[in-house]
Structure 1
Amino acid sequence: MAAGRLPAGVLSFKQFMHRQKVLSLYRKILRVIYQIPNEGDKQYLKNWAREEFKRNKNATNEDVVRMMFTHGNLQLKELEKMLQLTK
């Protein structure tokens, strides 16, 4: 193993923190989705969120990950606004 390199499958601290932030965002999105009263909309949005996160799970470019995270937070805010309109 070369100096400064981690064994395969071991995350660096930075990668670990990115993963934790992404998981936190995913959970927040799901919490909002579960509050949506219409079951059809709820299922559609749950599938949408799952597919978006699954599709992008292998992104490693730090700038791309940061951009996707920002976009995901904006989408979370939109979901929260939509939920407030239904109440």
Structure 2
Amino acid sequence: MSSTRLPPVALTLKQFMRRQQVLLLYRRVLRAIRQVPNERDRKYLENWAREEFQRNKSATEEDTIRMMITQGNLQLKELEKTLNLAKA
């Protein structure tokens, strides 16, 4: 079975930077989730994060993407705050 690759798509600098922001957010979310002590909760959150990013990967509207990144950062901060409280 061979996989066919699509030709590379030229991105503007703005699109490239936005994509980098999304990847950074995704990595930060997964790193935070790794600190969840309960394995079942950790798996649930990993699946949730993957599905959310996958579901929204086709978004192209700049304002929508910016809003989703902002919302994702807020949710990440809440998760980090909760994890820090659990450790204390």
TM-score normalised by the chain length of structure 1 = 0.88
2-side partners of 1:45 and 1:77: how far apart?
Answer: 15
- 1:38, CA displacement in angstroms? 0.4
1:77 aligns with 2:43: no
1-side partners of 2:45 and 2:86: how far apart?
Answer: 15
- 1:82, CA displacement in angstroms? 1.4
Aligned to 2:48: 48
1-side partners of 2:20 and 2:42: how far apart?
Answer: 24
Q: How does 1:14-53 map to 2 (within 5 A)?
A: 14-53=14-53
1:67 aligns with 2:72: no
Aligned to 1:86: 86
- 1:85, CA displacement in angstroms? 2.2
Deviation by residue 1:14-68 (Cα, 9 ceiling, x = unmatched): 1110000000000001100001110001000000000000000011101000100
Unaligned runs of 5+ in 2: 1-6
Counterpart of 1:72, as a letter, is G
Counterpart of 1:68, as a letter, is M
Identity of aligned residues (%): 67
1-side partners of 2:49 and 2:58: how far apart?
Answer: 16
- 1:8, CA displacement in angstroms? 6.8
1-side partners of 2:8 and 2:48: how far apart?
Answer: 31
Task: Calculate the aligned-residue CA RMSD, in Å.
Answer: 1.4
Which contiguous aligned blocks of 4+ residues in structure 1 show a shift greater than 2 angstroms?
none
